[in-house]
Amino acid sequence: MSHFKKEWFFFWEKSIIWKIMIINGMVVGIVIWLVGVSVKDFACLLVGQYQFIGEEKQNFFNSTMHFYLLRASLIAVIVAALIYYLLMRRILIPLQNLLKSTRLMTKGEYPDPIQVTSKDETGQLSRHFNQMISTLRQTEESRKQMLSDISHELRTPLSNLNGYLEALSSGVIQGEPELYRSLHDESIHLTRLVDQLHQLAIWETKRLNKPQWHLIDLDKIVQSSFQGFELELNNKNIQCEINLEPGKVLGDAFGLRQVMTNLLKNAIQYDRGGLIRMTGETVKNEYRTTITNKGQQIPSEKANHIFDRFYRIDPSRHRDTGGSGLGLAIAKEIVQQHGGEIGLVSNGHEHSFWFTIPSSHASQD
């Protein structure tokens, strides 16, 4: 194949706008030519049949009609092609921008947002593409932040364990019950962190698999979850007021129990008032559970991130003032997969963590 043919095939395969223009130009040209030839032949037939003019003038008339047919057809094709090019250019330029952005994404780069200039299907495609790029960029940033947070959470306990174990094995220090308890606490912290990461991964997998829910009594789940903390509440002299209405929902009993466990752990750990109130009621086809207590004041800008993964109000991430920062994130993941919502309402030092799950009849609808 010659160099000219290779260039032509490359041009034909790569330039969609010229491909469409050539195809439509051929169609328009054929239609114009057929219509024009039909009109010309009909006019010539009429003139010749009725002998309005002589033979010499008949030939001149035919040649003149043929000339005007060619000129009109050529002008019509050029004008149609020009108008078609201007119209198609408005449609294909966003597609070409999408193609360039897609190529950048295949190289691992995030392109700039595509300018949306219309509200038609092409504009909607560009708008959805920009939203996809934004979501992917946020996901990538969250992934990097999560890896950084995990490494931060693991570095301190692992360093402590390695340091003490090395000192014990070399005889630099002698083992004492208090030291062993400290090492055991570090081990428990690591185990809890890994377990929470595992739970989060399990529920993210369930989001893709669409599990089958079962009809359960959410009020009984809430009540049994509280009973598991009675000993801890008594040890910390925290009273609890419970007011639960019956409520049936479609869901996973283990998951909803995990939500209650995480919320109660959070309330007990940060409680400063010695009283926790729990309520459950059906509101607008949803069962709403609320846990209210008094604790340290939460700034509004931080309250918006309280359910983010690895987020803690204390920027120092000290273990005495916060857990791993995954408990509330796991609760949010589970609630959202049940089609519900979760949130926090703060009024000074009083905080109300709430979540809603659609009632059984609402879920079936």
Phi and psi, residue 141, nearest 5°: -65, -40
Q: What is the pLDDT of residues 131-179, one digit of tens each?
A: 888 888 877 777 777 677 677 667 777 887 888 788 888 877 777 788 7
Calpha distance 38→284 (Å, rounded): 72
Q: What is the pLDDT of residues 282-295, one digit of tens each?
A: 888 899 999 999 88
Pairs from 89-92 (Cβ < 8 Å, separation ≥ 24): 89/17, 90/117, 90/118, 91/122, 92/16, 92/17
Most confident of 80-89, 195-204, 210-219: 210-219
- Calculate the CA 133 to chain-centre distance: 10
- Burial class of 296 by CB neighbour count within 10 A (0 to 12, 13 to 18, 19+): exposed
pLDDT value for 80: 73
Check pLDDT > 90 for residue 81: no
Is the pTM higher than 0.85?
no
Residue 189 near residue 319, CB atoms below 8 Å: yes
Q: What are the Cα distances from residue 3, in Å, to 11, 15, 173?
A: 12, 18, 81
Calpha distance 278→353 (Å, rounded): 10
Q: What are the Cα distances from residue 151, in Å, to 148, 191, 314, 324?
A: 5, 15, 18, 12
Check pLDDT > 60 for residue 364: no
Q: Band of the pLDDT at 356, cuts 50, 70, 90?
A: very high
- Calculate the CA 255 to chain-centre distance: 23
Per DSSP, what are the bridge partners of residue 346? 351
Q: Domain 212-364, what fold? A: Heat Shock Protein 90 (3.30.565)
Phi and psi, residue 215, nearest 5°: -75, 120
Residue 365 near residue 250, CB atoms below 8 Å: no
Provide the 3-class DSSP secondary structure of residue 282: strand
- Of the chain, the percentage scoring pLDDT greater than 70 comes to 75
The one-letter code for the residue type at 364 is: Q
Residue 95 near residue 121, CB atoms below 8 Å: no
Number of residues in the chain = 365
In CATH, what is the architecture of 138-208? Answer: Orthogonal Bundle (1.10)
Q: Band of the pLDDT at 56, cuts 50, 70, 90?
A: low
Residues of the chain with CATH 1.10.287: 138-208
Q: What are the Cα distances from residue 130, in Å, to 125, 188, 211, 244, 276?
A: 9, 44, 31, 45, 45
Calpha distance 249→286 (Å, rounded): 9
Average pLDDT over residues 196-207: 76
Check pLDDT > 70 for residue 101: yes
Calpha distance 112→161 (Å, rounded): 46
pLDDT value for 17: 59
- The mean-pLDDT minimum among 90-104, 233-247, 343-357 falls in 90-104
Nearest to 301 by CA among 346, 259, 264: 346
pLDDT value for 361: 58
Q: Band of the pLDDT at 10, cuts 50, 70, 90?
A: very low
Calpha distance 173→167 (Å, rounded): 6
Phi and psi, residue 106, nearest 5°: -65, -20
- Burial class of 295 by CB neighbour count within 10 A (0 to 12, 13 to 18, 19+): middle
- Which two structure tokens, joined as six digits, stand for 180? 């062993």
The one-letter code for the residue type at 82 is: L
Give the number of other Cβ atoms within 10 Å of residue 342's Cβ.
21
Residues of the chain with CATH 3.30.565.10: 212-364
